[in-house]
Structure 1
Amino acid sequence: MRTPDIDDPKTPELETNQTKNGFLCLVSRMVIEERMPIRFMYKTVPDHLNDTGWRMYSGYESEEYLADELNNMMTAPVEAMCKADPTITDLVDYNAGTVWERPPGSAEDGWERVYDYIIPSPSVDVDITNDPDAFKNL
């Protein structure tokens, strides 16, 4: 794992100090069922108390595959994922907003920090109105 520069304001000490809740992560079925290695992962704001916010992928998932999260992602304990791949053990301590990748051909522990990936957020469809009659009909 490449350690961030000591002069970088985003040092591990500052980026691992969130309150830790949850014990589950969402993992691509490619990783679980096809035994592909984790090559891409990020931490989002947890969805519920048992969720850590970690999302783990093989890096080979298509857009269509990712769009069908209900069928193609599974919950798993983070501890079990760390036992399966010890190279992620230190990484799962990082805060929400953290993204890591392990490019193909890199060393097994060749994790690199990603700074330009925009973590997907759930889309919420909201109707806004100032019309009391229209509000009553919603």
Structure 2
Amino acid sequence: MKTPDIDTPTSKENETNQTKNGFLALVSKMTFDEKLPIRFMFKTVPEHLNDTGWRMYTGYESEEYLENELANMVPVPVEKMCRIDSSLTDLVTYNAGTVWERTPESDGWQRVYDFKIPAANVDVGITNDIDRFNTEFKIDD
């Protein structure tokens, strides 16, 4: 029996078998403000119980636009996004780590394997020095 290579895509069954939680996706406001279709999306690890992990973009967002997530991304039920664009319905069943895109010339979606999904940037200080820890965090008995 031949073992699949690491780069070989796995079956859809293996890629859609995560426990599904949440119901919201973060969607670029350009989708609604400028009536643009979703052309790029990925699924990250959900950030809270209502989050599916899906992030959906038009493909026209600038770096500056993307940096201001609070102002430019809106939580939207995935079900609503699938009603707006039925081509999303099968794609939103995939697991975290999945990336999809479609070009303006194409109606079909293509799987993307070379995009690095951004991770939340958490600034945490770590120390093994008990005195420093107690001083910085004012731990009292």
- How high is the TM-score relative to the length of structure 1? 0.90
Structure 1 counterpart of 2:131: 133
Which runs of 5 or more structure 1 residues have no equivalent in the other structure? 1-7
Distance in 2, Cα, partners of 1:38 & 1:9 = 24
Distance in 2, Cα, partners of 1:92 & 1:129 = 40
- Matches of residues 94-133 of structure 1 in structure 2 within 5 Å? 94-106=94-106, 108=107, 110-133=108-131
Q: How many residues align?
A: 129
The one-letter code of the counterpart of 1:42 is F
Structure 1 counterpart of 2:19: 19
The one-letter code of the counterpart of 2:94 is Y
State the identity %. 67
Which runs of 5 or more structure 2 residues have no equivalent in the other structure? 1-7, 137-141
Cα RMSD (Å) of the superposition? 1.0
Of structures 1 and 2, the larger Rg is shown by 2
Structure 1 counterpart of 2:70: 70
Measure how far apart 1:9 and its partner are. Answer: 4.8
> Post-superposition, which runs of at least 4 consecutive aligned residues in structure 1 deviate over 3 A?
none
Q: Does 1:33 align with 2:33?
A: yes
SS in 2 for 1:79: helix
Structure 1 counterpart of 2:5: none
SS in 2 for 1:137: helix
Q: Does 1:59 align with 2:59?
A: yes
SS in 2 for 1:136: helix
* 1:97-127 deviations in Å (ceiling 9; x for gaps): 0000001211x2x100000000000011111
The one-letter code of the counterpart of 1:102 is R
- How high is the TM-score relative to the length of structure 2? 0.88
The one-letter code of the counterpart of 2:117 is I
